[in-house]
Amino acid sequence: TKYPKFCPSEIAELMGLDVSNDMDFDYIKQDIEGRAFVAKGRPKIWINPMLSEKRQRFTLAHEIGHVVWDMLPAMVNKEKIKGFEDHGGNLTFYRGGDVRLVEHHANNFAGRLLIPQKVVREELDGIMEQTPEENHTVSYLVPKLAEMFSVSKQTMTIRLLKLKIIE
């Protein structure tokens, strides 16, 4: 592939975000995959270290989405951050199976960050040119693209559906 994998940890570093994946058993036992929070006026992110590498990548991209769309605008405007829990002055947003609208937006952000539309279309065109027509099926293409972009098959399927590449 001619494109680098889109690395959410490098993006978080460029944004100046503190990211940790410490063994925090309080969150792990609650099945929390990640959390974005503000401590001492700075956004921070925690990722569950028990997740697979692909799931950690997606969760980090998802949490970056919360920072960009939910936290930074509120911090700039000095507003209370809606949907975040206050823990002794630290505002926290949890990722764990919640499907509220803010979670939907963060999932979309993660999909766009990890699987940009232009890049996935170009990669798909390349695969189609190089493989026999009988392999032009969802069951062949989704795993191949998922591996190329280091995401799960589920993440790739959802992104391709949103892009209307598959039905």
pLDDT, position 38: 81
What tens digit of pLDDT does each residue of 19-36 get?
Answer: 988 887 777 777 788 988
Burial, 14: exposed, middle or buried (Cβ in 10 Å; 0-12, 13-18, 19+)?
exposed
Q: How many helices (H) and strands (E) does the chain have?
A: 8, 5
pLDDT at 1 over 60: no
pTM for the whole structure: 0.81
pLDDT at 43 over 70: yes
Structure tokens at 99: 């499907």
pLDDT, position 89: 44
Task: For residues 47-72, give the mean pLDDT.
Answer: 91
Task: For residues 97-102, give the mean pLDDT.
Answer: 64
55 or 71, higher pLDDT = 55
Cβ–Cβ < 8 Å for 66, 36 = yes
93 or 149, higher pLDDT = 149
pLDDT at 92 over 80: no
Question: What is the edge-to-edge ordering of all strands in the sheet holding 42-47?
Answer: 18-20, 42-47, 34-39, 90-95, 85-87
pLDDT at 87 over 60: no
